[in-house]
Amino acid sequence: MSTAPRQSQQQRHRRLRLRRVFDLFDCDGDGVITQAELSGALGRLGLALGAQAGALDSVVAAYIAPGMPGLRFADFEALHDELDGGEGEGPEEEDEEREMREAFAVFDENGDGYISAAELQAVLGRMGMPEAGSMARVQDMIAAHDRDSDGRVDFQEFKAMMADGNGV
């Protein structure tokens, strides 16, 4: 079996995941992430940079097209590739696995290897998502991807959810 279709599928999944992140950061839905939106999103995720903010601002500014108020998706994608060390650095499968583990860790706040309804609700709340307002809705989100019915989402279930294109 050729690896080209598999790589293409992996690239599509990677791009879809990146698009979801872009859409979450683009608070006003105008297709552009301003530096204020980026800083706010990072802060809501508990990733406030403090003294490093100036360094990030200068890196981000280098990717903003002249005359634009912020990053368009293509700019955001290029910035992500640069911060990630470029796409050509190492096997794509390893990069995808690492990115998936990093995304999982954002939701698995206590590091126990599972995403509970309370953890999901807390992260959704920080992201300003309306689903966070209802524990019943959050529990439904967990149940939809909880294949072993233990009331939590483990890493394998999270990976399957992301591969299906059904993010949290």
pLDDT by 10s per residue, the chain, length 168: 455 555 577 788 788 888 888 888 888 899 999 988 887 777 776 665 565 666 667 778 888 888 899 999 999 998 888 777 654 444 556 777 887 888 888 888 888 999 999 999 988 887 778 888 999 999 999 999 999 999 999 999 988 887 776 555
Q: Which pLDDT belongs to residue 102?
A: 82
Q: Which pLDDT belongs to residue 85?
A: 65
Provide φ and ψ at 6, rounded to 5°: -65, -45
Characterize 27-46 residue by residue with b for buried, 16 or more Cβ atoms within 10 angstroms of its Cβ, and e for exposed: beeeebbbbebbbbbeebee
Q: Which pLDDT belongs to residue 40?
A: 78
Strands (E), the chain: 114-115, 153-154
User: How many other CB atoms sit within 10 Å of the CB of residue 147?
Assistant: 11
What residues contact residue 38 under an 8 Å CB cut-off, 6+ apart?
25, 56, 60, 70, 71
Q: Which pLDDT belongs to residue 33?
A: 93
Q: Which pLDDT belongs to residue 115?
A: 94
Place of tokens 């949290």: 168
Q: Which pLDDT belongs to residue 165?
A: 62
| pTM for the full predicted model | 0.55
Q: Which pLDDT belongs to residue 7?
A: 57
Place of tokens 């470029």: 86
Place of tokens 């698995």: 108
